[in-house]
Amino acid sequence: MTLEILTHDDLAPIKHGFFTRRGGASSGVFKGLNCGHGSSDQSDSVSINRARVAEAMGVAPSHLLSVHQCHSANVVVAETPIPQPLPKADAIVTATPGLALGILTADCQPVLFSDLDAGVIGAAHAGWKGAMAGVLEATIDSMETLGAARQNITAVVGPCISQATYEVGQEFFEMFMDEDTENSRFFAQGAEDRMQFDLPAYGVSRLCKAGVGAACWNRHCTYSDPDRFFSYRRSTHERAADYGRLISVIRL
């Protein structure tokens, strides 16, 4: 099966892709394109998958960059391939042609950034923790250090969990209300005392508030489409042993 690569017109003509799980070498619960070495999948299979992604992006595997994601607001500014051990961060930015920035997700938001005029790109992993901690704003700030102008930055949120499938408890809701009472607009009443959280709307709102030129979600839900996407929450509900990681990539 060939790779399935979702793109978005707002990021064109910058080369990019939100890769689905289709077209990979992994099997079992990781069936398809699992790109996470942090999973319990066979390392060789993950390496094959990442090599296929690198080829699709037109770079050597060593130039498909990743970080040790930890739900932080840390950003790596890359001018060369990132050496091992990978730094703990949740975003990467660069102005160097030939480097592909890769972010792994399995329900969290993968966000790809581009300032075409300045020749600066970025990629961020933004779950609720990272988004609340400011990883999206930190990515924009770091792009500006490379010459980008935030009003010229386009940001696209890729496949992530949608509000309809993201059930949370009262403590979660109250935490967001403590941050800002206007966050109530990202919640809908669920069953009994549960709430439904709109993660991509929260992310897009923060991006717009930060002053980017354009921000949107591509409206693909990871939880509700198991044939195309890995999902941490779905694997938990199914009591699976582990779960695969999707990759989203952008390059100059």
- In the DSSP assignment, the letter for residue 80 is S
pLDDT value of residue 235: 97
Nearest Cα neighbor of 103 from 138, 132, 76 is: 76
As given in the structure block, the two tokens for residue 246 are: 């999707």
Helix axes 199-209, 135-145, angle to 10 degrees: 40
d(CA 166, CA 149): 34
As given in the structure block, the two tokens for residue 31 are: 């069936």
CB-count burial class (<10 Å; 0-12, 13-18, 19+) for 183: middle
Nearest Cα neighbor of 43 from 58, 56, 30, 55 is: 30
| Averaged pLDDT in 10-residue chunks for the chain of 252 residues | 94 98 96 96 96 98 98 98 95 98 98 98 98 98 98 98 97 96 96 96 98 98 98 96 97 96
Nearest Cα neighbor of 27 from 57, 53, 48, 5 is: 48
pLDDT value of residue 159: 98
What is the total residue count of the chain? 252
pLDDT value of residue 219: 97
5-162+198-251 is a CATH 3.60.140.10 domain: yes
The answer to whether 25 and 49 have CB atoms below 8 angstroms apart is yes
> Does the reported pTM lie above 0.95?
yes
Residue 99's contacts (CB-CB under 8 Å, 6 or more residues apart) are 59, 63, 65, 78, 80, 81, 251, 252
> Which residue is associated with the tokens 């609340």?
132
pLDDT value of residue 156: 98
Domain positions in the chain are 5-162+198-251
As given in the structure block, the two tokens for residue 171 are: 């403590």
Nearest Cα neighbor of 109 from 240, 18, 8 is: 18
Handedness of CA 86, 92, 95, 100 (dihedral sign): positive
CA angle (56 as vertex; 89, 125 as ends), nearest 5: 20
